[in-house]
Amino acid sequence: MSDAVQPAPPEEGLVAMRAQVYKDPRPKEYFDRFHERARTRPPDLVYEVVRVGTSVYAWLGFRARAIAPEHVPSSGPVILAPNHFSFMDHFFLGAAVRRKVRFMAKSQLFKPPMQFVFSHGGVFPVRRGYRDEEAFITAGSILERGGVVAMYCEGGRSRTGRLRERARPGIGRLALESGAPVVPVAIHGSSRVRNWKRLQFPRVTVQYGEPFAFERDPEPHRDHQQAVADAIFAEIRALYGRLDAATEGGAPAVSPPARS
**CB count in 10 Å sphere of residue 195:** 14
Task: Please name each of the domains of the chain with its CATH number.
Answer: 29-248 (3.40.1130.10)
Where does the pLDDT of residue 115 fall: very low under 50, low under 70, confident under 90, or very high at 90 and above? Answer: very high
Q: Are 95 and 56 contacting, i.e. CB atoms less than 8 angstroms apart?
A: no
- For residue 256, pLDDT over 90 is answered with no
- For residue 237, pLDDT over 90 is answered with yes
b/e map 216-227, b = 16+ CB within 10 Å: ebeebeeebbbb
* Rounded-to-integer distance, Cα 238 and Cα 227, Å: 17
- For residue 2, pLDDT over 60 is answered with no
CA 110 → CA 20, 81, 106, 197, distances in Å?
A: 15, 22, 8, 25
H or E element in which residue 251 lies: none
Of 154, 187, 38, nearest in space to 100 by CA: 38
pLDDT at 15: 57
- For residue 5, pLDDT over 90 is answered with no
pLDDT at 56: 95
Q: What is the DSSP string of 184-210?
A: EEEEESGGGGGGGGGT-----EEEE--
Out of 3-17, 99-113, 131-145, which region has the weakest mean confidence (pLDDT)?
3-17
pLDDT at 193: 87
H or E element in which residue 31 lies: none
Where does the pLDDT of residue 12 fall: very low under 50, low under 70, confident under 90, or very high at 90 and above? Answer: low
Distance of CA 114 to the CA centre of its chain: 19
Average pLDDT over residues 130-154: 96
Tell me the pLDDT tens digit for each residue of 175-217.
999 999 999 999 999 988 876 666 678 999 999 999 999 999 9
